[in-house]
A and B are shown apart, each in its own frame.
Chain A
Amino acid sequence: MLKKVISIVLSVAFVVSLLALTSCSIDFRSDVEKAMDKFLKADSYTVTVNNDLGMHTYMVNNGTVYFFEDYDETEKTSYLYSDENDYYYATVSDGEETQSIEKAQLKKEAYVIKYMDTIQESDIVNQVFAYRHILDMAEKTDKGYKYSVQESTDEYTYRIIYTIEMDDGSLVLTQKYESKKEKYEEQIVISNVGKTRIEIPDKVLSK
């Protein structure tokens, strides 16, 4: 009798464990939601922002930041990085004929704060974090989700369409703003999540 009871208890425990394991292994969420979670947890990623002003790319990898701007005739690349126990912020400006490198050694605290500010200013984490909660309210598209927001003020009415979609393994956020006065479009591509590596060029390291 006792053997039977033990056998039944063990069988039930086995089935429950198997079911629990299966339910947490199978991820029923959409690809976009999974990509958003992966990005929020990641220590490294690449973000490219394209808008009417130009393009900028920033790459993050565990405390190292690469930032590239191409807004006018000068291309500017910045690096925030640590080298053993020293911390640096370097900027490389490439004009049509000239190149200049400026490099400053930072105190550890200044480096930490600059790093946190850089992530904060990019606003990407904020956007992904907030949108993730309300995916259920969005309209589904072939590749992801679409939000449509219309706001009216006393002066004018504007409409913003946000999309969060997957494209070739990258998470793509677009924002289209339209009012009677102006139109604005921005595209943010989040790629290489968990795989981004940043190489600091020799010319910066040796400066």
Chain B
Amino acid sequence: MKSVFKRITALIFAVIMLSLLIMLASCNAYDSVIDSFIKSDNYTVESENYTLMVDGATVNFTMDDTQMYLYYDKGAKSYYYVTQGEEGITKLAIDSEQYITYYKEIVSPASNMASKLSAFKHLRDTLEETDGKYVIKESERNSYTVAVADGEITYTVENEGDTNNYSYKIYNIGSTKVEIPDNVNEAKAID
């Protein structure tokens, strides 16, 4: 009798554990990588000309040899806009209002991508997938490709015979961290 009771208890316990694990897995799984990006506070957007790293309200933008940081220093209780290039570091102490203006402008490549990908997501039933890619041929010459693989999104625009081709890659979704280097942290700010 005791043995039967033990078995039933073990079975109930196993079912509860399994249900919990399934629920846990499903509540963390978003519909797709695109949804993960759209809802994420941390991501990296890379094009041929620049890399934009967003870690919540902290941003690093790199173009050619110039780095830009937009961040809030909790210790100093101040917002900063910093550029670092061949000519050295320029660190501006800005107020929260200027910070919001800069922020919206700097993350605009990411917000534009979010908007495009949101629309793309609505059209998944219309588009055909080939080898993990969705290709939209506007004409024989122009095409847009959205590829999602290994947690990364690549959006490519190709104009055949034209030099105006470009692509964006979005990766490190949910895991991008922006570290403010010591020389930037320690630089003197201009009001």
Contact = CB atoms under 8 A, between A and B. Distances in A.
B149 interface: no
Contact of B39 (A40, A125, A148): A40
Contacts of B138: 109-110, 113
Contact count band on A: 35 or more
A171 to B, nearest CB: 15
Interface stretch (B82-90, B119-127, B166-174, B181-189): B119-127
Interface stretch (B44-52, B60-68, B103-111): B103-111
A129 B115 contact: yes
A66 B17 CA distance: 47
B101 A115 contact: no
Interface stretch (A14-22, A48-56, A90-98, A179-187): A14-22
B123 A63 contact: yes
Contact of B116 (A60, A120, A147): A120
Interface in B107-162: 107-108, 110-112, 114-116, 118-123, 125-127, 136-139, 144
A113 B136 contact: yes
Contacts of A112: 123, 126-127, 136
A133 B126 contact: no
B111 A43 contact: no
A133 B115 contact: no
Contacts of B121: 43
A154 interface: no
A130 B122 contact: no
A106 to B, nearest CB: 12
B179 interface: no
Given A129-B114, A134-B103, A149-B101, A24 B38 contact: no
19 contacts: A40-B38, A41-B38, A43-B121, A109-B138, A112-B126, A112-B127, A113-B138, A118-B119, A119-B115, A119-B118, A119-B119, A120-B116, A125-B111, A126-B111, A133-B56, A133-B107, A134-B103, A149-B97, A151-B101
CB-based closest 5 A-B pairs: A119-B119, A126-B111, A125-B115, A116-B119, A129-B114
Interface of B: 13, 16-17, 20-21, 23-24, 27-28, 30-31, 35, 38-39, 41, 54, 56-57, 72, 96-101, 103-104, 107-108, 110-112, 114-116, 118-123, 125-127, 136-139, 144
Given A111-B126, A137-B99, A150-B97, 8 more contacts: A14-B17, A40-B38, A113-B144, A115-B119, A118-B119, A126-B108, A137-B96, A149-B101
